[in-house]
Amino acid sequence: MLSWVSISCRNYAMSDHWGAISRLVWLLLLVWVSVPISASSAQPISPTEELSVRKVVVLDPGHGGHDPGAVGPSGLAEKVVVLSVAQEIREILSPTYEVHLTRDDDYSVDIERRTEVANHYRANIFISIHAGGAFGHQGRGTVIFYHRRRNAGSGSTPYRQYGNSWETGEKPIPWEDIQGKHTAESQLLAELVHRHLTGKLSPVDAGIREAPLLVLESADMPAVLVEIAHLSHPAEEAQLRKPEVISAAAQAISEAIKEYFKDCP
Ligand SMILES: [Zn+2]
């Protein structure tokens, strides 16, 4: 568990800044090649429409289909709870940000596919949402995870020893270590989600933890896994049956995302 950590977003902001510039350059090129040189009758392209670059948020409602996740003592399934939370977050944030869900109904999605969706959309933030089924169904309370590399500290290559192969010819970063580029920003995101969720829900506070997480390890952006609560506990299942609690959780995570983008424009 972590105590309060003060994390600067400056490095992330720099890389994000260059990422935004890179996207703008590509968009400009696309606009340029898509306008016929002699087509004087072509519809003018609005630069504001073509060049709007909104922050991208990918939300991952855990489980789905044949995998219910945790199931509460009275039968409430985690897959149902987390989809409701993700859909409410999308509703709150869509006017401001581009929001995608890894699943939008009750079907199964491979873990690797969930990360691929985030990378495909070049998300600025990836949040996997759970309610007690990611790490077994024990315990209770709200807990936020960020990724720690598998085998970290047991002789594996430290992330810092990987070079930028396209610049230096050094060995490239393996996909399973990509999240290591974003650890500081993921910690900041975890801290914000934790602060807002515990402020809104008054849950048992199980804190912030780091752990090897398959769904986050190949995510090439700041990413966290949120356990809103633990359905296996009767009192927490009773809370998660209330629509106002689902809305409060969605509101809290949305506020954390907004604050993150304020800190990391
Ligand atoms: Zn889960």
Q: How far apart are CA 144 and CA 237, in angstroms?
A: 18
Separation of CA 171 and ligand 1 centre (Å): 35
Separation of CA 164 and ligand 1 centre (Å): 34
> 59-80: per-residue pLDDT in tens?
999 999 999 999 999 999 999 9
Within a domain: residue 85? yes
Cβ-Cβ contacts under 8 Å for 154 (sequence gap 6 or more): none
Separation of CA 161 and ligand 1 centre (Å): 33
Separation of CA 169 and ligand 1 centre (Å): 40
- The first and second tokens of residue 254, run together, are 């949305």
Separation of CA 12 and ligand 1 centre (Å): 28
Which pLDDT belongs to residue 122?
96
Within a domain: residue 8? no
Q: How far apart are CA 179 and CA 123, in angstroms?
A: 13
Of 235, 240, 264, the C-alpha closest to 78 is 240
Separation of CA 134 and ligand 1 centre (Å): 4
Separation of CA 122 and ligand 1 centre (Å): 24
Separation of CA 88 and ligand 1 centre (Å): 18
> 118-131: per-residue pLDDT in tens?
999 999 999 999 99
Within a domain: residue 78? yes
Q: How far apart are CA 91 and CA 55, in angstroms?
A: 15
| Residue in the structure block whose two tokens are 């400009």 | 28
Res 82 pLDDT > 90:
yes
pLDDT band at 224 (very low <50, low <70, confident <90, very high): very high
User: Strand pairing of 125-130 and 142-147?
Assistant: unpaired
Which pLDDT belongs to residue 152?
58
pLDDT band at 206 (very low <50, low <70, confident <90, very high): confident
Of 62, 199, 60, the C-alpha closest to 118 is 60
Within a domain: residue 71? yes
**Coil, helix or strand at residue 175:** helix
- The first and second tokens of residue 56, run together, are 């991208």
**Coil, helix or strand at residue 53:** coil
pLDDT band at 141 (very low <50, low <70, confident <90, very high): confident
Separation of CA 36 and ligand 1 centre (Å): 51
DSSP 136-150: BS---SEEEEEE--T
Within a domain: residue 214? yes
- Number of structural domains the chain divides into: 1
Res 172 pLDDT > 50:
yes
Separation of CA 59 and ligand 1 centre (Å): 14
Separation of CA 68 and ligand 1 centre (Å): 8
Within a domain: residue 42? no
Separation of CA 131 and ligand 1 centre (Å): 6
DSSP secondary structure code for residue 180 in this structure: G
CATH of the domain at 136: 3.40.630.40
Separation of CA 160 and ligand 1 centre (Å): 31
Q: Which residues constitute the domain of residue 258? A: 52-153+170-263
Separation of CA 78 and ligand 1 centre (Å): 7
Separation of CA 86 and ligand 1 centre (Å): 13
- Per this entry, what is the length of the chain? 265
Which pLDDT belongs to residue 76?
96
Within a domain: residue 35? no
How far, rounded to the nearest angstrom, does the alpha carbon of residue 143 sit from its chain's CA centroid? 15
Q: Edge-to-edge strand order for the sheet containing 223-227? A: 98-101, 56-61, 125-130, 223-227, 142-147, 205-211
- The first and second tokens of residue 128, run together, are 């996997």
Within a domain: residue 39? no
Separation of CA 77 and ligand 1 centre (Å): 10
Q: What is the pTM of this model?
A: 0.76
Which pLDDT belongs to residue 154?
47
Separation of CA 221 and ligand 1 centre (Å): 21
Which pLDDT belongs to residue 161?
44
